């Protein structure tokens, strides 16, 4: 049989996948720099062969069975939480994360707990290596089939032979279609292989999980169209030297993307963390200036997270550095401007470092007041009381605004033993928690200077700004 090669060279953007007329330094579609690559995109076919697409079956909407859209539980509670109950048959899920974060461990545990036949395509490791990891995790199930395959056609052939209900491909960057004249891992190969697997998932009604690499910037490697083609994009995050792992849904066509899954990495694999607030606050030291506890909302789950701030005076004429770990740097700059302008506390001559414990990101405005009070406490050397939590959004005028789901946040704080909360003036109260209502950031600073009953006044009382000292004459109520 004579095989002809029809090859053409295309210039595409590795970020968004847009085809360019010629090479340039910047993509004209997404604006990314240095992402234009030139590739050979050719398909080898027998002479005279013509591939006809298979026509999709037609059905009236009222005749479609609702059972086709039901989800299947994965057996991993934290994964089901993020996916809204489980994995949908016929869906394609892309799992991304840094090397060594635990992606392969998670999908292998998923395969071991899956009740039906599973095809595990290991394109990076041999079958013996996968078996060794499965033995360490304690999950060697007879319904898991392993294929060490890097060819797309080999993967599809294995699906034909096993007829699984779940397919795991680890990883999509190492799968290649030999009909495409491009190297494995290129933008063309990743895009075409992913699209072929999406077609197979829909046609067979089989769930497929693709493991993806990430770039040094933390984004998924490959063209942006890869994320558009799949149904769900999961991000597996965490510090490699820390046991905590966070699973988020960046995109999910079958449910919300606001839920957060928490895992603890151990020698025996990944285990869900049912009460993460205890884990985040387990090593917190009382009496340290710059430490504040803030109740977050991740989907329907309230979390108590410690925010830490450290300030250090810099020599005159030197600009202070700003370092944010787990917080948007632009948000930090705005809060520092409000602190200096509205609270009359000078921070321009300070190096400011703000960090969250456990690798959690502060993305909601409800954490503004906690970050601001952590910085103020570090600057004035005031330790916030151990039984106090802080909730509130900070406006540019220094006003403290209401936030959503305050009762749920306070109820979680009360469950963990916290008895007082600095909250906006319009916040509702919860049994067991005493609200210290504030209308502005100046009021919040006053609450920091107000001692608990029986406690000695802060040793840095003399360092209060003049505006705060004047406000101390205004009755603020007994915070005890």
Instruction: Give the tens place of pLDDT for each residue, 116-147.
Output: 999 999 988 999 999 998 888 876 678 999 99
Choice among 101-105, 232-236, 357-361 with the minimum mean pLDDT? 357-361
Mean pLDDT of the chain: 84
Confidence band of 462 (pLDDT split at 50, 70, 90): very low
- From CA 297, how far away is CA 278, in angstroms rounded? 15
In this prediction, residue 52 carries a pLDDT of 53
Residue where the block lists tokens 């329907």: 300
- From CA 204, how far away is CA 142, in angstroms rounded? 22
- In eight-state DSSP terms, residue 102 is S
Closest CA to 93 of 218, 208, 235: 208
Over range 387-403, report the average pLDDT: 96
In this prediction, residue 305 carries a pLDDT of 95
Six-digit token string for 369? 């007041």
Choice among 226-230, 360-364, 474-478 with the minimum mean pLDDT? 474-478
To the nearest 10 degrees (0 to 180), the angle between helices 329-342 and 368-380 is: 60
Closest CA to 269 of 136, 363, 404, 380: 136
Closest CA to 278 of 247, 302, 260: 302
CB atoms within 10 A of CB 396: 10
- From CA 190, how far away is CA 196, in angstroms rounded? 10
> For the segment 5-45, what is each residue's pLDDT rounded down to a tens digit?
455 677 877 666 677 777 888 888 777 787 787 766 554 44
- From CA 187, how far away is CA 173, in angstroms rounded? 9
- From CA 209, how far away is CA 164, in angstroms rounded? 12
In this prediction, residue 455 carries a pLDDT of 41
- From CA 470, how far away is CA 47, in angstroms rounded? 90
Higher per-residue confidence, 278 vs 103: 103
Helices (H), 349-458: 368-380, 406-415, 441-449
Higher per-residue confidence, 105 vs 20: 105
Find out whether 224 and 30 touch, Cβ atoms under 8 Å: yes
- From CA 146, how far away is CA 288, in angstroms rounded? 52
> For the segment 417-439, what is each residue's pLDDT rounded down to a tens digit?
999 999 999 999 999 999 999 99
Q: Long-range CB contacts (< 8 A, 24+ apart) of 462-468?
A: 463/380, 463/381, 464/380, 465/343, 465/344, 465/345, 466/344, 467/343, 467/344, 467/442, 468/343, 468/344, 468/442
Distances (CA, A) of 247 to 260, 262, 275, 303, 371: 6, 6, 15, 15, 24
| pLDDT higher than 80, residue 73 | yes
- From CA 230, how far away is CA 353, in angstroms rounded? 38
> For the segment 343-383, what is each residue's pLDDT rounded down to a tens digit?
999 999 999 999 998 878 898 999 999 999 999 999 999 99
Over range 279-299, report the average pLDDT: 90
In this prediction, residue 100 carries a pLDDT of 87
| pLDDT higher than 70, residue 451 | no
In this prediction, residue 187 carries a pLDDT of 81
Q: Pairing mode, if any, of strands 393-394 and 400-401?
A: antiparallel
Find out whether 273 and 289 touch, Cβ atoms under 8 Å: no
In this prediction, residue 172 carries a pLDDT of 93
In this prediction, residue 166 carries a pLDDT of 97
- From CA 42, how far away is CA 181, in angstroms rounded? 5
| pLDDT higher than 60, residue 196 | yes
Q: Pairing mode, if any, of strands 291-298 and 301-313?
A: antiparallel
In this prediction, residue 141 carries a pLDDT of 78
Six-digit token string for 311? 């300030």
Distances (CA, A) of 100 to 62, 69, 78, 90, 242: 47, 34, 20, 28, 12
Helices (H), 304-367: 329-342
In this prediction, residue 457 carries a pLDDT of 36
Q: Say how many Å lie between the first and final Cα of the chain, rounded.
A: 88
3-state secondary structure 145-194: EEECCCEHHHHHHHHHHHCCCEEEEECHHHCECCCECCCCCCHHHHHHHH
- From CA 218, how far away is CA 134, in angstroms rounded? 28
| pLDDT higher than 80, residue 156 | yes
């Amino acid at each position: 049989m004579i095989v002809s090669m029809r090859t053409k060279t295309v210039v595409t953007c590795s970020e968004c996948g847009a085809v360019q007329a010629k090479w340039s330094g910047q993509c004209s579609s997404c604006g990314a720099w240095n992402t234009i690559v030139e590739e050979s995109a050719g398909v080898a076919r027998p002479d005279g062969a013509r591939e006809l697409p298979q026509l999709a079956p037609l059905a009236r909407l009222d005749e479609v069975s609702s059972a086709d859209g039901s989800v299947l539980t994965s057996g991993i509670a934290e994964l089901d939480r993020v996916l809204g109950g489980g994995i949908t048959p016929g869906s394609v899920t892309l799992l991304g994360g840094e090397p060594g974060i635990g992606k392969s461990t998670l999908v292998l545990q998923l395969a071991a707990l899956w009740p039906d036949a599973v095809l595990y395509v290991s394109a990076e490791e041999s079958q013996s290596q996968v078996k060794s990891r499965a033995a360490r995790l304690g999950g060697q199930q007879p319904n898991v089939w392993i294929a060490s395959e890097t060819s797309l056609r080999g993967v599809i052939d294995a699906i034909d032979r096993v007829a699984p209900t779940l397919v795991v491909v680890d990883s999509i960057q190492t799968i290649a279609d030999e009909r495409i004249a491009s190297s494995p891992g290129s933008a063309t190969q990743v895009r075409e292989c992913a699209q072929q697997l999406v077609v197979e998932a829909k046609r067979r009604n089989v769930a497929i999980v693709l493991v993806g690499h990430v770039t040094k910037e933390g984004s998924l490697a490959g063209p942006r169209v890869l994320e558009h083609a799949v149904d769900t994009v999961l991000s597996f995050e965490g510090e490699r030297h820390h046991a905590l792992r966070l699973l988020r849904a960046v995109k999910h066509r079958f449910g919300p993307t606001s839920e957060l899954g928490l895992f603890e990495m151990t020698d025996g694999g990944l285990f869900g963390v049912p009460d993460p607030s205890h884990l985040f606050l387990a090593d917190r030291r009382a009496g340290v200036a710059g430490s504040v506890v803030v109740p977050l909302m991740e989907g329907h789950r309230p979390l108590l997270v410690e925010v830490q701030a450290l300030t250090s005076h810099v020599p005159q004429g030197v600009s202070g550095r700003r370092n944010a770990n787990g917080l948007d740097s632009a948000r930090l700059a705005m809060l520092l401007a409000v602190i200096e302008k509205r609270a009359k506390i000078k921070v321009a001559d300070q190096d400011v470092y703000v960090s969250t414990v456990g690798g959690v990101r502060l993305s909601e405005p409800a954490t503004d007041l906690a970050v601001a009070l952590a910085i103020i406490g570090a600057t004035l050397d005031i330790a916030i009381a151990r039984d106090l939590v802080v909730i509130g959004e900070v406006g540019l005028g220094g006003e403290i605004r209401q936030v959503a789901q305050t009762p749920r946040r306070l109820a979680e704080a009360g469950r963990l033993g916290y008895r007082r909360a600095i909250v906006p003036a319009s916040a509702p109260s919860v049994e067991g928690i005493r609200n210290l209502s504030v209308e502005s950031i100046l009021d919040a600073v006053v609450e920091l200077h107000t001692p608990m009953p029986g406690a000695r006044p802060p040793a840095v009382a003399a360092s209060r700004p003049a505006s705060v000292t004047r406000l101390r004459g205004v009755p603020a109520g007994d915070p005890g």
